[in-house]
């Protein structure tokens, strides 16, 4: 519905778009006032998953080309040039950064951090590669299951919204486990989320950073009463089996009304001052999305966020493309950790003390360049895990001198087995994170093998 050129969402439209018309979702029975840890029970914890779509180069991020790798001759000489020398994370002797992630050294020094290297990806090219709904091993890579982590948590916890996705939509359905999205809000940026949770009848003037009221509160109230009257009238003609569903619908309406009344929309508006801390306009979409991530956590609208960034699937001019993109993300990540550290949590300490951050990508990048001075897909991926409960200054897994994944057995690097029996698979990391966040049943569905050495 449009009013004077501004989009107006009524709660039925909003609810239907967010839930797909399902009335049996757990969160409907737990409608409560929005607050931090909304939907979580007796705890305050947050989960942020940054997904770098298209495969960010791990050798420029957290597995730099030094030592035997640099002497192997397997990597392009640019990797080993003086301009690409590794950066140490202050106070953490095990954590070295490539040029792309060097600006994140301060962030990694402030939170417990572990690097996961040599995550083995079984398939790096397949006919179904572009169909992101395929997230199992038959697709582009098994790491396509990564973006479903936040959704699996939301499917269990309840709360509305239970999960927010920002950026290009990652896959939300794990085809192997048939996990369907619930209680989800998804948008290209945080301003779009703000528009959704603003009161009906309000629009936003971006030039003056103010709301403009188009429809009176009286008109909204009268429309709300009419909807309620229609619901009551319809209820009289419904069978008893539908009464429970209608009650759940009413609970959801109450939750949405509270969302509207909370003025969360204002707290989700991205200002120039905030954006400047995250890299400003030069930081592009990455700066805006990471800044929006902080606003979402601080506002309390949702404790689980998946944030995806596109642009890494380049096969030409590798260093000119990947280094700036990674540095934009690393700069924004540093600002995020600084803001989380400076913001008090409801239950004591800071938001950084209550937040787990997972950084992943689809697969790896070849150590040498192709004919266009780009890199191609590689079967060794990587990840970063940050937050309380993570064993600090830890390296899990690894790659050999040619950049191939090594085996991982009982917390030790071993030669990679031909039958892949000692491979460090994406499922191992996913299950470990799910268990850490308090979802042991979901973890066991993914993998019985977990990386216990990742946890403090």
| Domain parsing of the chain, residue ranges | 1-31+213-264, 34-189+270-454
- Whose tokens are 């592009």? That residue is 284
- Interstrand relation of 46-52 and 304-309 (parallel, antiparallel or unpaired): parallel
Question: Which pLDDT belongs to residue 267?
Answer: 85
Q: Is 43 exposed, middle or buried (0-12, 13-18, 19+ CB in 10 A)?
A: exposed
pLDDT over 90, % of the chain: 46
- pLDDT tens for 283-316 read 889 999 999 999 999 988 889 999 999 899 889 9
Q: What is the pLDDT of residue 377?
A: 85
Mean pLDDT of the 373-380 span: 90
- The CATH code of the domain at 34-189+270-454 is 3.40.720
pLDDT class for 258, splitting at 50, 70, 90?
Answer: confident
The residue-averaged pLDDT of 101-106 equals 97
In this predicted structure, the answer to whether residue 33 has a pLDDT above a threshold of 70 is no
Q: How many CA atoms lie within 13 A of 23 on its CB side?
A: 13
Residue 186 bridge partners (DSSP): 165
How far CA 179 is from CA of 84, 133, 156, 160, 439, in Å, comes to: 42, 11, 11, 18, 14
pTM for this model (two decimals): 0.83
328: three-class secondary structure by DSSP = helix
Please name which of 417, 83, 27, 428 lies closest in space to residue 254, comparing C-alpha atoms.
27
């Amino acid at each position: 519905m449009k009013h004077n050129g501004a989009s107006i969402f009524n709660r039925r439209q909003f609810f239907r778009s967010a839930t797909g018309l399902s009335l049996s979702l757990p969160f409907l029975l737990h409608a409560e006032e929005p607050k931090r840890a909304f939907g979580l029970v007796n705890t305050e914890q947050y989960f942020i998953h940054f997904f770098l779509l298209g495969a960010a180069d791990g050798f420029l991020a957290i597995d730099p080309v030094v030592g035997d790798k640099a002497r192997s001759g397997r990597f392009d000489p640019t990797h080993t040039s003086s301009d690409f020398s590794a950066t140490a994370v202050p106070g953490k002797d095990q954590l070295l950064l490539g040029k792309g992630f060097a600006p994140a050294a301060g962030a990694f020094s402030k939170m417990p951090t572990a690097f996961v290297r040599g995550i083995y990806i079984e398939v790096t090219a397949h006919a179904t590669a572009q169909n992101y709904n395929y997230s199992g091993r038959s697709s582009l890579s098994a790491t396509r299951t990564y973006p479903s982590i936040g959704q699996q948590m939301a499917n269990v916890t309840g709360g509305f919204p239970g999960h927010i996705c920002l950026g290009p939509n990652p896959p939300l359905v794990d085809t192997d486990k048939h996990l369907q999205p619930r209680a989800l809000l998804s948008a290209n940026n945080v301003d779009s989320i703000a528009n959704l949770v603003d009161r009906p009848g309000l629009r936003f003037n971006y030039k003056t950073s103010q709301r403009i009221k188009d429809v009176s509160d009286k008109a909204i109230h009268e429309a709300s009463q009419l909807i309620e009257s229609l619901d009551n009238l319809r209820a009289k003609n419904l069978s008893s089996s539908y009464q429970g569903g209608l009650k759940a619908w009413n609970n959801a309406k109450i939750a949405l009304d509270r969302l509207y009344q909370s003025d969360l929309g204002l707290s989700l508006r991205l200002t120039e001052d905030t954006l400047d801390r995250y890299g400003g306009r030069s930081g592009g979409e990455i700066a805006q999305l990471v800044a929006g991530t902080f606003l979402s956590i601080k506002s309390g609208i949702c404790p689980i966020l998946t944030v995806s960034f596109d642009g890494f699937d380049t096969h030409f001019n590798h260093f000119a493309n990947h280094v700036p993109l990674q540095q934009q993300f690393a700069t924004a990540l540093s600002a995020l950790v600084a803001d989380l550290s400076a913001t008090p949590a409801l239950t004591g300490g800071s938001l950084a003390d209550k937040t787990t951050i997972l950084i992943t990508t689809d697969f790896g990048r070849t150590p040498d360049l192709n004919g266009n001075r780009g890199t191609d897909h590689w079967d060794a991926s990587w990840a970063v895990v940050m937050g309380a409960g993570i064993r600090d200054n830890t390296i899990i897994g690894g790659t050999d001198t040619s950049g191939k994944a090594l085996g991982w057995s009982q917390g030790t690097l071993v030669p990679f087995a031909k039958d892949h029996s000692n491979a460090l698979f994406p499922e191992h990391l996913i299950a470990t994170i799910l268990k850490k966040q308090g979802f042991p049943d979901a973890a066991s569905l993914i993998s019985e093998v977990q990386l216990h050495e990742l946890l403090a």
